[in-house]
Amino acid sequence: MGLVLFLMVGLWVLGWAMKTPVRARLVMIGLIYLAVVIAQLVLPAGTPLRLATGGDVRPWLVLGGILALGAGYAYGLKRLRKPEATTPEPLSGPFREAELNRYARHIVLREIGGAGQRKLKDAKVLVIGAGGLGSPALLYLAAAGVGTIGVIDDDVVDGSNLQRQIIHRDQDIDMPKVFSAQAAMQALNPFITVKPYKRRLTEDMATELFAEYDLILDGSDNFDTRYLANRAAVATGKPLISAAITQWEGQISLYHPASGAPCYECLFPERPAEGLAPACAEAGVVAPLPGIIGSQMALEAIKEITGAGQSLRGRLMLHDALYGENRNVTVARRDACACCGSAQGQAQA
């Protein structure tokens, strides 16, 4: 019996050395075992072959039973640890099973939870600009599960954008930014709706467009658009998260006079003098800076929608990337503001 067992072990080691599949090795050893059992049952007692293989079938049957029990136990454990893959079916609630898995890290957060994730799914957010600030903001809004995301921009992707506008790729050069951004967002999260608007934000359509959304993010790169977005947000009563960057510095705040916070024009009643706030094309901008401030825009949007934490309503956050510093400045409404102040209200009356 010992000789047969030695032969089986030798075959297993040889098969391992030759990288023979496990199943093939088991088949070879199983055939040897079966031949021994048959020989013990069929051949007369005392024959040399029976004597050479132990002379009794009972030890072999006991050995086979033990191995069968061990194999069955191992198989059962494997089935318990690795359930059969099934195609996820839509749940009766607002989320598919795949969405629950996708947003699991949000759902376990006490400040967001399932109720907050549902608010994100039901939310409609409009992002002005698919450039440096819009790129990270759009990607994180999509990843977070904001149900409807609008993006408005009339520009096309240029090679010089790719140093910082991470939503676009080299193969997207000359493609309208809104369509490049739409493709990237839907590739990241197929459970959201993206509405691209390939046009410049203008006064004749801003108010009507803003009325369709719950929250506005302004990532534009010029003061004309910032003032226009602010006035449309005030007119529609929508909260506005506006940010700006240049070189190594960025700033962001949440403007919402309807909730007691100032509007953008309360802080910046007049545009800077010519040359004091040059565009990125003239002054330059370090590549990760739009990612930092744009991601902060998405974070503030998530907080505003879910009610988590303390927003930047009434506070202006200033970021100095060159020296790694952040400062928060308290800001307040101005009664004399031409956009949201009491003088404006009297003029409208």
For position 276, what pLDDT does the model report? Answer: 65
Going along 189-295, which residue ranges are E strands?
Answer: 193-197, 215-218, 240-246, 249-255
For position 87, what pLDDT does the model report? Answer: 39
For position 116, what pLDDT does the model report? Answer: 95
Q: The whole model's pTM is what? A: 0.71
For position 16, what pLDDT does the model report? Answer: 66
**How many residues does this entry show for the chain?**
349
For position 303, what pLDDT does the model report? Answer: 97
Contacts of 219 (CB under 8 A, 6+ apart): 127, 128, 129, 131, 132, 133, 134, 137, 243, 294, 297
CB 294 within 8 A of CB 136: yes
DSSP 132-194: TTHHHHHHHHHHHT-SEEEEE---B--GGGGGT-TT--GGGTTSBHHHHHHHHHHHH-TTSEE
For position 11, what pLDDT does the model report? Answer: 64
Map out the domains of the chain as residue ranges. Answer: 2-81, 97-348
Residue at 349: amino acid letter: A
d(CA 233, CA 236): 5
Sites in the chain below the pLDDT cut of 50? 82-92, 343, 345-349
User: Which of 254, 297, 256 lies closest to 144 in space, CA to CA?
Assistant: 297
Q: Does CATH number 2.70.70.10 belong to domain 97-348? A: no
